[in-house]
Amino acid sequence: MSNSLAITLKSSVVKKQLIGITGLLLCGFLVTHLLGNFLLFVGPEAFNKYGHALTSNPLIYLAEAGLLALFLGHMGLALKATLENKAARPQRYYMKTKTGRGSTIASSTMPYTGAILLAFIVFHLQGIKFGAVYNVTYDGVVMRDLYKLTFEKFASLPYAAFYVVSMIAMAIHVSHGFWSAFQSVGFWHNRYTDSIRKAAIGYAVFVGLGFSILPIYCFLTGAN
């Protein structure tokens, strides 16, 4: 093996590891975001107070900067790896066979489901985080009425449907990503293969169904 090939392979391994680590951290964000969003089922006060507790904490800026860095790092590296794999077939061969399994629909559509997720996130932030500001007062504290805004958005069938379709793409994306990330960071042994695969499917079903139920629930139960 030539020196330059060794370096290329090595750097592609490092890239995969970084994609895996950032992906797993984003998976962690998704779970906390989903659990917080489940407060929509509890009611406006619980949901709005939770949102207010998050956004009024000075550490939110640090958390948001970290989250943005994770998103940009994950997407940038994944895009670079995808383009490089296209340009150099042997490298792609190396990366796929490392896991000891062929490609699946989820693995070969990663760039597409990833692109859908990117479009979703821009749309989501524009509509909710940077969307209309309604205020509500609890115990003398004025805060954003994110509950009202969320229900208002999901009252539209196309809006709610776009969320559900995006969440299906997200579930497909993380079902492979979660599994692949464990391999990339070196946590890979024949003995654990089945457990990791089951955990990946379980995780994907949990976040996919969990995030899909919310717009469906809001759409069906109507505006507050």
Min separation Cβ 42 and ligand HEM, Å: 13
Least separation in angstroms between residue 155's CB and ligand HEM is 13
Residues that bind ligand HEM (CB under 6 A): 33, 37, 51, 55, 64, 67, 117, 121, 124-125, 128-129, 146, 150, 163, 170, 211, 214-215
Closer residue to ligand HEM in complex, CB, 179/219: 219
The three-state DSSP-derived secondary structure of the chain is CCHHHHHHHHHHHHHHHHHHHHHHHHHHHHHHHHHHHHHHCCCHHHHHHHHHHHHCCCCHHHHHHHHHHHHHHHHHHHHHHHHHHHHCHHHHHHHHHHCCCCCCHHHHCHHHHHHHHHHHHHHHHHHHHCCCCCEEEECCEEEECHHHHHHHHHCCHHHHHHHHHHHHHHHHHHHHHHHHHHHHCCCCCHHHHHHHHHHHHHHHHHHHHHHHHHHHHHHHHCCC
Length of the chain in residues, anyone?
Answer: 224
Question: Between 6 and 165, whose beta carbon lies closer to ligand HEM?
Answer: 165
Distance in Å, CB of 164 to ligand HEM, minimum: 9
Measure the CA–CA gap between 224 and 207, rounded to whole angstroms: 25
Which of residues 66 and 186 has its CB atom nearest to ligand HEM in the complex?
66
Nearest residue to ligand HEM by CB is 214
Whole-number minimum distance, CB 7 to ligand HEM, in Å?
34
Minimum distance from residue 85 beta carbon to ligand HEM (Å): 24
Question: Looking at beta carbons only, is 55 or 221 nearer to ligand HEM?
Answer: 55
Smaller CB separation from ligand HEM, 131 or 188: 131
Least distance to ligand HEM, CB of residue 66, Å: 10
Closer of 33 and 98 to ligand HEM (Cβ) = 33
